[in-house]
Structure 1
C-alpha cells in the first residue's frame, strides 16, 4: 500500500483527510494512467448516499473530463454495480465514491479496471504518483476534453443480473426482513427482492437515506435492531447490507447473527454437494474463526488463508481457481457471478438455500459451523506510527506471552487496519473472559507507547 491507497481504496473524513482537491487530482490521474490512443477513455462513476458524495462526484468528473475522459454518472448504486457495469458495457474504468461501513462523515474512492476488478497495486501506485506530484500531466486540448453523460437505465442491467441469480421460487412461504443501512441498497433491493422474484414475503427497514444516516444504528455493522425486529415480527431470516452493499450479514429466526464465516461455510458445503466447488477450496482470511476450519476439515474442503482484505482473497481465488471466498465481515466473493464482494448476490444465494430446504430453518441451514469465542479490540494509533508500535519490544513481548498461554487452544492476531488509524487485536479461544483480559492487557501496552 502507498500513502493514499489502503486495502480498499482511498478513505478519510470528507473535507479533511479526503478533500475535493484530492478527488479532482485522482480524476486527472486515472484518466492519464488509463488513457487510450484510439478513443476517449470511458469511465463510470457511482456513489453511496453520503452527503459528501455529490461534491466528490463533481470533483472526480472535472478531473476526468479535463484529461480527456468521457464520464457516465450512475448516481446512487452499490459498489458491485459499478464493477459489474464497467465490464458489461465495455467501459475502461469505474469509480465508486463510498466509505463502505464507516460513519457518514467519512468517504472514500475505489477504482475498478475494465474487467471489473480493483486496480492492481502497480496501477494504484501510478495513480498515486500523479496525485502527489507537484506538476499535473499536460492538460488535453479543448477539442478532446471529455463529456459528461447520464447513466440512467444502466442500473437495471445490474438488477436483472441479481434476479438471474435467484433460483426457483420458494414452495414454502417465508418472511424475510432486509436492512438496507440507509445506503446504496436503498436504490436496488426493493426492486430485486420481491414476492415475484423470491416467492417470499419481503419487508424492508433503514431504506430512507438523508445523507447522514447511512450505517447509523443499522446495517451489517450494527445488527441489534434487525435481530430484534426479526424476533418480534416472527420473520424467518433477517438480511443486512452495509453502506455500499458489498457486504451481507444475516440473523436467524432466533435473532442470532449469521456472520460471513457461517455464510461461506454453508455455501461451500452446499456447492461441494452439487459439484460446483471448483478445486474443493474456499478462500478466507487470518481472522476467520477456527470453527470454520474445523467444519471444512470434516467436509473434506480445503481452505486457503490470506491476509485481511478482500483484494487478497480475490488474488488467491484467481491464482488457485477457487470460486468462493470472503471475510467474516460479510464481504463474500462468488466468482461465478461477480468480480468483487456483492451483498445482494450473497443474499440471493442465501434465499436460494432457504427455498431448496423448505423444512429447515435459517438456524439449521447456516448453523452447522460452531464458532469459537472471539474477542476483538481496536486501539487508535496514528497512521504513521503503526509499524513502529507493532514492532516495539514491549508489544512483541506481550504478544508472545499471550501466545504461550493460549498454546494450541487459541490464537492471537495483531494487525494494522488497512482503512483506519487503528491497530486491531483479535483473540480466539475457549474462555471469553480470559480472552478479554488478555486483549485489554495488550491494549494497555500499546497505549503506553503512544
Structure 2
C-alpha cells in the first residue's frame, strides 16, 4: 500500500496548505484513536490514554485542540503535555504507560510549517503498517463513540523530563565551574534545558528562551548558530550549546566560537565510551557523515557503518547491529542506552561527560579528529529519471574517484522533496574537492536537462 500522508519523519507541511489543516488534524486524531485503540485491548485498561505534546509554534494551539477532539471522539483519553521537546514525549509515553504519544512540531523548520510525529507505547516510532492503517482509517466516516474519552493536563511533565535528563549522567556528575551559552531556538527546550544545566551546577547564559509563537528557529538554534558562537566569545564561556526547535538536535561551539557538529560530537562520545565505559561496540552514521569521522573511528578500531539520511534509518541499522550510538552531522544523535530516540539535551550531557572525564577542553577533544573538506552542489533538473544510471555521469564520478585516490569519496543523492540531485565530493584538499564537485555537477546538469 502506498503512503498518502506519512513520510520518513511523520507528516509535515505548510500550515493551511496541502494536508496540514485543522480538519485534517481532526480526522487524523479520530483515525489514530480508532487504530491505536484496537491495538491496546480493553479501553478501560491502564493503557487507555494518548499523550499530546507540541513545540512553541502558534499553530500548535489549533492543532492540539483538533487532535484532542478527534481522539476523544474515538473514545480515547488524552493527556496534554503542553510545549515539550520531541524526545520528552517519547519518554513520557513510556512513563505513563500510554498507548502512544503525538508530537505537534516541524522541528527545525520556520514557524509557518507544522507537522505530526507519533511514538508507540515503547517511545519508538510507529511501525510502517500501523501508519498505513491510520491512513486507511482516515477515509472512514467519523462517528461519535458511545464511550467518549476525557482530557487532562499533565502539570508535572516538565519536571519529570528534567529529572530524567539529569539521571542520564552518573551520580555526583557536576558541571560546577563551567560557563555555558545555551541557545534554545525559542523552541520546546526553552523551559527545560536551562534548568537541567543549572541544576547540574553550570553557569548558564541563555539565548532563544522567549518564544512568541513566530520566532522558533528564527536566526537562532542549531540551524542558525552564529548568535550562540558569538556569545561564547563575548561571554568568555567554556562552550556553547544550540538546540533546534523541537529539541532532538544539538550542536556545540568550542571556547573559540568554532562550531562542533554532529559528527564531531559523535566521535567525542564514542571515544569517551571506548576509554571510560568499557568500550564502544560501533557507531552508525549516514551517507553524509564526514569521511574524516570514519577514518578517526577506524584508527581507534571502532566499527562504523553508514545508513541512509534520516534518523529512522540510523536507528534501524543500530538495532540490526546491536549498537547503542548513532546519528547525523546535523546533530541528531541517538544514545540508545539512555533513551529511544534522538535527544538534544541527553546527547549534550554525554558530550559534557567526555569533557569532564578527559579533563580537556572541547576544542582539544575535537582536535583528535581531522574533518575533511566536503563540498556539495545542488543541481536542479528538468527530470531526474535515469540520470544516476547515465554512462556520462558514471564516467565523471569514476574519474573523480580516481583523482581522490582512496583518500576521499563521491556521493550523488536525489533530494526527497525537490527536483534536485545533490553532488557531494569529499577529500583532503578543498580546492580539489570544489573543482571535482563542479565538474560532476556540470555533467549531471547537462544530462538531466537535455
Both structures adopt the same fold (TM-score exceeding 0.5) = yes
Q: Deviations over 1:324-350 (max 9, x none)?
A: 111111111111111000000011122
Decide whether aligned partners of structure 1 residues 446 and 107 sit closer, same or farther in structure 2, where only a CA change above 3 A counts: farther
CA 1:112/1:170 → structure 2, altered by over 3 Å: closer, same or farther?
Answer: closer
Q: How does 1:31-430 map to 2 (within 5 A)?
A: 31-35=33-37, 36-39=40-43, 41-131=48-138, 133=139, 136=140, 139-141=143-145, 143-167=146-170, 168-170=172-174, 173-194=177-198, 197-277=199-279, 280-358=281-359, 360-378=360-378, 389=384, 391-392=386-387, 397-398=392-393, 400-407=395-402, 408-418=406-416, 423-430=421-428
CA distance in 1, matches of 2:301, 2:49: 45
Unmatched 5+ residue regions in structure 1?
none
Deviation at 1:443, TM superposition (A): 5.3
Counterpart contact for 1:172–1:355, Cα < 8 Å: no
Measured after TM superposition, the shift of residue 109 of structure 1 is: 0.7
Partner of residue 22, structure 1? 24
CA RMSD in angstroms comes to: 2.4
1:42, 1:396 → 2: CA distance? 56
Question: Separation in 2 of the partners of 1:444 and 1:28?
Answer: 50
Q: Tell me, yes or no, if the aligned pair for 1:183 and 1:207 is still in contact at 8 Å.
A: yes
Contact kept, 8 Å, 1:389 with 1:395, in 2: the verdict is no
Contact 1:277/1:323 (<8 A) preserved: no
Distance (Å, rounded) in 2 between the aligned partners of 1:172 and 1:183? 26
- Mapped contact 2:91–2:339 kept (Cα < 8 A): yes
Higher helix share: 1
Q: Is the 8 A contact 1:247 1:330 kept in 2?
A: yes
User: SS in structure 2 opposite 1:184?
Assistant: coil
Comparing 17-26 with 245-254, greater Cα deviation is found at 17-26
Q: String of CA shifts for 1:29-88, please: whole Å, max 9, x gaps.
A: 211221133116311011111111111111211221111111111110000000000011
Q: Give the deviation of 1:246 after TM superposition.
A: 0.3
Instruction: Tell me the secondary structure at the aligned position of residue 94 of structure 1.
Output: strand
Residue aligned with 1:144, SS: coil
2:75–2:147 Cα contact (<8 Å) kept: yes
Q: In 1, are the aligned partners of 2:176 and 2:200 still within 8 Å (CA)?
A: no
Q: CA deviation at 1:438?
A: 4.5
Per-residue CA distance 1:297-348 (angstroms, 9 max, x = gap): 1111111221111111111222221111111111111111110000000111
SS in 2 for 1:210: coil
Residues 419/29 of structure 1: CA separation in 2 closer, same or farther (3 Å cut) = farther
Shift of 1:446: 6.2
- Structure 2: gaps (5+ residues): none
TM-score normalised by L of structure 1:
0.90
Instruction: Give me the whole-angstrom Cα distance separating, in 1, the residues matched to 2:419 and 2:53.
Output: 26
Q: CA deviation at 1:431?
A: 3.3
Q: Is the 2:90–2:123 Cα contact (8 Å) retained in structure 1?
A: yes
